[in-house]
Every structure is written in C-alpha cells, then in structure tokens.
C-alpha cells in the first residue's frame, strides 16, 4: 500500500524522538537535582522537556508502538 512506508518512517522517527527527549530530560533533571539554587530558566526547560517526553510516550502508547 502507499501509506505503509510513510508510517514506518514516522514510527522510527517517533521512537528516535522519544529516546532523544528521554536523554535530554534525564540530563536536565540531573543538573537541576545537583544545583544548589536552580534558576527559573532551568526549571522551565526541565518542565518543557518533561512535557514533550510524556506527550510522545502517550502518542506511542496510542499507536501501540514499542522499541522492540
């Protein structure tokens, strides 16, 4: 079918985005946790990264995707 290749590319891209955002979110979380006084900008970036990551996880769950 015509849409099957496109879906496979989108699926792979979604999984890559999830892994990238997971590493970014954990990196920012470690920095904020180790900071004595985290800045408002740092907290905001952490909240944005977390929101993006969990949004993509919900999308993957909706489409029944997994990394296997």
Q: Which long-range contacts (CB under 8 A, 24 or more apart) does 22-29 make?
A: 22/53, 24/49, 24/53, 25/49, 25/50, 25/52, 25/53
For 13-65, the pLDDT digits (tens) are 899 999 999 999 999 999 999 999 989 999 999 999 999 999 999 999 988 88
**What gap in Å lies between CA 55 and CA 44, rounded to an integer?**
16
Instruction: Please indicate, yes or no, whether the overall pTM of this predicted structure exceeds 0.85.
Output: no
């Amino acid at each position: 079918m015509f849409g099957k290749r496109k879906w496979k590319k989108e699926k792979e891209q979604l999984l890559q985005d999830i892994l990238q955002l997971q590493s970014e979110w954990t990196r920012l979380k470690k920095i904020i946790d180790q900071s004595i006084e985290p800045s408002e900008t740092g907290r905001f970036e952490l909240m944005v990264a977390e929101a993006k990551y969990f949004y993509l996880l919900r999308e993957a769950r909706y489409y029944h995707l997994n990394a296997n």
